[in-house]
Structure 1
Amino acid sequence: MQLFFLGTGAGVPAKTRNVSSLVLKLLDELNEMWLFDCGEATQHQILRTSLKPRKITRIFITHMHGDHIFGLPGFLSSRSFQGGDTPVTLYGPKGLKFYIEACLNYSRTRLTYPIEIVELDPYGGEIQLPNKWKVTYLPLNHGVLSFGYRIEEPDKKGELLVDKLAEYNIPNGPLFGKLKRGEIVELEDGTILNGKDFVGEDSKGRIVTILGDSRPCDNLTILAKDADALVHECTYQADETSMAHSHFHSTSAQAATVAKNAKAKNLYLTHISARYLGPDAKALEDEAKSIFPHSHLVYDLNEFSIDYRK
């Protein structure tokens, strides 16, 4: 599981940062990828990577501001020309369906794959997905309806410790399956083995929280609780609280406080104003780290692995 940031800027594209978009890579887990927001020129950013648009099966939109959706019609259209023939499901606030259908209709775009558009309950809810994956969403505080998403992976059963079994010379077959299920088996020579002794510990499923634009509010912390990775906007410096509030955004210090209160493992700061370059951008990270040490200022095309907790 990896987070791949395609665009980390706020408002408008800049030379150093494109507008909001990121991919949650679940290739090892589900052989698919999920896209969160799709700002202008997201498909251009993808061309600079090894990402395959046909692997993107779900798209989650946080809110309907242009810097989060203007790249969506182009991406959906281009996916048809890049070998994409599998269905795509889109989730987001009310208005998403009208926006996509209008763009496709007026541009006479015909997709080579089916799409489903799910407009979410403005009060929040859960999206139940195959293989026991779950996405919880709640409204934030951003002037327009803006969602935060909490992605929960199912717990992973312990792996069979094949090296530990090597000394018993067990042939491939049903015995391995029984041992992996923790059952007791008897070998041909009368040796009794307890499968529980040959299975590693279960791994608790990872939690990834991806938040839309927002002022500080309780739902940020609820969604971020115990997250292994928390993606939080960081539009302003810590001393610009008043400006952040007036524009329905958060500061570096406010993002770090959410991570600290939620007991998250790592905080990734994105949605950075184009005003912050070089040392000024680094200052955002330093401000956050003074509150939450595991804070990371994110740049376009950065990728981060999300490991299981030990």
Structure 2
Amino acid sequence: MFKLTFLGTSSGVPTRYRNVTSLALQTTHNRDWWMIDCGEATQHRLQRIPLSVHDLVGICITHVHGDHSYGLPGLLASASMTGRTKPLLLIAPPAIKAWIDATLLHTELFLTYPLIHIDVDSAQIVHQEAGLTIERHALSHRAPSVGFRFALETSKWKLDKAALQAAGVPPGPAWGTLQAGQDVQLDDGRTLACADFRITETARATVVIGGDNDTPSLLADACAGAQLLVHEATYTEAMLQKIGPGPTHSSVQRVTQFAASAHLPNLILTHFSARYHNPAGMAELEAEARLHYSGELFLARDFDSYELDVAGVLTKLAPADGKPRIR
């Protein structure tokens, strides 16, 4: 029901192996896709995966820090220069919209499409359409930060074969006509209404994507009933203690302990400090994670793709850019 592709998984600064934060989220709802955060050079990452900026319906920005937003002006400009005309939603703090407006003014950039700003603090539900609801949840960080809860619901119908057999209608052309959504006139004079022989099946899935946040439990309400949490895990707990108190980031221990207490079946960690961008560093993070969480666990790398199916099973796919990951 959801497909997630990580475009950047580094905290603060890009490195040789990881770009700064951005995530692409697709659903089975339609061809539209969403972007959560847009760090510097995100548009370059898009050139290596099969997603078009013309199908991008909206960008959600968790907070104002540059490693989550500096890629916005270039991406918006490129979308315009390649002929986009469809409106684009920008769910972001007011300061982000003010900065974009100033950039448009002072760089003589004219967008060929409407940019529709939705203040991320205007309401808990920041977007709603048939089958998809996006909520924001306040977090704790140096700058005001939020997480986003994507709740997807899809419905489809199939023939009620048991009801047809009970009505004395054997498999045959009548079933095909009903399957096509048309009523059927039987030889015995009865009329079968298509609506009377339908079973509606509804599938639901929820993904929670956190921004920078030093208190994972703030997402307790958002994670109720969710199948997947994506959360930053910038440091080990020991390193976080060395850095000192104050609203900053989460440690692997804090996130995994919360995920375990919330009974989340799937967890993806991301936003790793550059000090861990090597095999030993990532092994240290994973070891700490597995001490506290026994569910399905992944430490994301750039271009990693994951699919969450209707049963809530999370599967790692081949890298979106087709290249094997080293770190």
Distance in 1 (CA, whole Å) between partners of 2:269 and 2:91 is 23
Q: CA deviation at 1:6?
A: 0.3
Q: Which residue of 2 aligns with 1:307?
A: 309
- The alignment status of 1:167 with 2:168, answered yes or no, reads no
Q: Tell me the TM-score normalized by structure 1.
A: 0.87
Rounded Cα–Cα distance in structure 1 between residues aligned with 2:83 and 2:290: 43
Contact 2:91–2:126 (CA under 8 A) maintained in structure 1: no
Is 1:177 equivalent to 2:176 in the alignment?
Answer: no
Aligned residues: 302
Q: What does 1:182-193 align with in structure 2 at a 5 Å threshold?
A: 187-188=186-187
Q: CA RMSD in A?
A: 2.8
For residue 279 of structure 2, what is the aligned residue in structure 1? Answer: 278
SS of 2:292's partner is coil
Contact 2:83 2:112 in 1 (8 A): no
Alpha-carbon distance between aligned partners in 2 of 1:115 and 1:23, rounded to the nearest angstrom: 19
Structure 1 counterpart of 2:103, which letter? Answer: C
Equivalent residue for 1:261? 261
Q: Name the SS of the counterpart of 2:260 in structure 1.
A: helix
**Could you tell me how far apart the structure 2 residues matched to 1:247 and 1:240 are?**
15
Aligned to 1:249, the other structure's residue is in SS state coil
Matches within 5 A, 1:95-244: 95-121=95-121, 125-160=124-159, 167-170=171-174, 173=177, 176-177=180-181, 187-188=186-187, 202-242=201-241, 243=243
The residue identity in structure 2 corresponding to 1:154 is E
Flag structure 2 segments of 5+ consecutive residues without an equivalent. Answer: 165-169, 313-327
Measured after TM superposition, the shift of residue 59 of structure 1 is 0.6
2:293 maps to what in 1?
292
Structure 1 residue ranges without an equivalent (≥5): 180-184
Name the residue aligned to 1:8.
9
Which whole-Å CA distance do the structure 2 matches of 1:244 and 1:281 have between them? 22
The amino acid of 2:285's aligned partner reads L
Tell me by how many angstroms 1:75 deviates: 0.3
2:263 & 2:185 partners in 1: Cα distance? 46
Seen in structure 2, the aligned counterparts of structure 1 residues 199 and 5 have a Cα distance that, compared at 3 Å, is: farther
Question: How far apart, in 2, do the equivalents of 1:229 and 1:244 lie?
Answer: 30
Stretch of structure 1 that moved more, 278-287 or 90-99? 278-287
Per the alignment, do residues 161 and 77 of structure 1 end up closer, same or farther by CA in structure 2, a change over 3 Å counting? farther
Aligned-partner Cα distance in 2 for 1:130–1:219: 26
User: Which structure has more strand as a fraction of its residues?
Assistant: 2
Whether the aligned pair in 2 keeps the contact of 1:221 and 1:259 (CA below 8 Å) is no
* Letter of the structure 2 residue corresponding to residue 80 of structure 1: S
Other structure's SS at 2:155 match: coil
> Structure 1 stretch 61-70 or stretch 222-231: which is displaced more?
222-231
CA distance in 2, matches of 1:244, 1:132: 43
- Structure 2 contact 178–194 (Cα < 8 Å) conserved: no
| Counterpart residue identity of residue 146, structure 1 | S
Q: Which residue does 1:182 correspond to in 2?
A: none
Deviations 1:15-38 (A, max 9, x none): 000000001013x31220101000
Alpha-carbon distance in structure 1 between the residues aligned to 2:125 and 2:99: 23
**Cα separation, partners in 2 of 1:173 and 1:53, compared to 1, 3 Å:** same
**CA offsets 1:133-183 (integer angstroms, 9 cap, x no match):** 211112100021101110111242444479x9893222754664379xxxx
Is the 1:222–1:262 Cα contact (8 Å) retained in structure 2? no
Given that 1:227 and 1:263 are in contact with CA atoms closer than 8 Å, whether structure 2 keeps it comes out as no
Kindly state the Cα deviation for residue 120 of structure 1 after the two structures are TM-superposed.
Answer: 2.3
Q: Which amino acid aligns with 1:169?
A: P
Query: Are 1:80 and 1:111, in contact at CA under 8 Å, matched by a contact in 2?
Result: yes
More moved, 283-292 vs 84-93: 283-292
Which AA in structure 2 matches 1:24? L
User: Residues 168 and 15 (structure 1 numbering): CA distance in 2 closer, same or farther, change over 3 Å?
Assistant: same
Describe the superposition over 1:220-273 as per-residue Cα deviations: whole angstroms up to 9, x where unpaired: 222122222211001001333423744610011111122222222211101011
What code does the residue aligned with 1:135 have?
I
Residue 290 of structure 1: SS of its match in structure 2?
A: helix
1: CA distance between counterparts of 2:283 and 2:157? 40
Q: Give the direction of change, closer, same or farther, for the CA distance of 1:17–1:189 in structure 2 (3 Å limit).
A: farther
CA distance in 2, matches of 1:264, 1:202: 24
* SS of residue in 2 equivalent to 1:12: coil
* AA partner of residue 145 (structure 1): P
Larger mean CA deviation between 44-53 and 201-210 belongs to 201-210
